[in-house]
């Protein structure tokens, strides 16, 4: 049963945009997951691919960062599949893993800055889309 606009305080247009963006967010999560896996594989396979600045407080071995990105990518793919099915666990997982992706990419900024900034921005879009979408009000 749908909830009237006056009870939710949200317009059907805003919900329609959020719903469309959530479908896009699921596809974006899937794409981000695959790209994170590829980034992780490249870091594990070739340590010289990433530039490491001196005296970085969160400095890990690039192989370690590679494995972190591989695991995050795999979880992103799984949560994207859950989000595509519309399940509650998929929505929660999408928000949580997107937040963890923001943190991981913030910490790996010195290694690959433009890529990290792009992933952070896209993760913010995913969090917004999933958290503002209420399928019962569309």
Question: Is 4 part of any domain?
Answer: no
DSSP code of residue 3: P
Task: Give the Cα separation of 19 and 25 in Å (integer).
Answer: 9
Question: Is 2 part of any domain?
Answer: no
pTM listed for this prediction? 0.71
Q: Look up the domain containing 64 and give its range.
A: 12-48+57-133
Q: Backbone phi, then psi, for 44, in 5-degree steps? A: -70, -40
Question: Is 62 part of any domain?
Answer: yes
Question: Is 109 part of any domain?
Answer: yes
Q: What is the pLDDT of residues 75-124, one digit of tens each?
A: 999 999 888 887 888 889 989 999 998 998 888 887 778 888 988 998 89
Q: What is the pLDDT of residues 16-45, one digit of tens each?
A: 555 566 678 788 889 888 988 988 898 888
Task: Give the Cα separation of 62 and 52 in Å (integer).
Answer: 8
DSSP code of residue 26: H
Q: Which sign, positive or negative, has the C-alpha torsion 29, 33, 38, 42?
A: positive
DSSP code of residue 54: T
DSSP 6-22: HHH---HHHHHHHHHHH
- How many domains, in total, are found in the chain? 1
């Amino acid at each position: 049963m749908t909830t009237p606009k006056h009870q939710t305080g949200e317009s059907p247009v805003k919900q329609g945009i959020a719903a469309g963006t959530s479908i896009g967010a699921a596809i974006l999560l899937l794409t981000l997951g695959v790209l994170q896996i590829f980034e992780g594989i490249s870091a594990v396979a070739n340590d010289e691919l990433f530039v490491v600045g001196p005296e970085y407080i969160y400095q890990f071995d690039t192989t370690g960062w590679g494995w972190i990105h591989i695991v995050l990518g795999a979880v992103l793919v799984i949560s994207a599949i859950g989000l595509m099915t519309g399940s509650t666990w998929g929505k929660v997982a999408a928000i949580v893993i997107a937040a963890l992706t923001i943190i991981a990419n913030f910490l790996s900024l010195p290694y690959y800055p433009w890529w990290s900034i792009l992933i952070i921005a896209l993760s913010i879009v995913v969090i917004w889309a999933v958290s503002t979408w209420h399928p019962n009000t569309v």
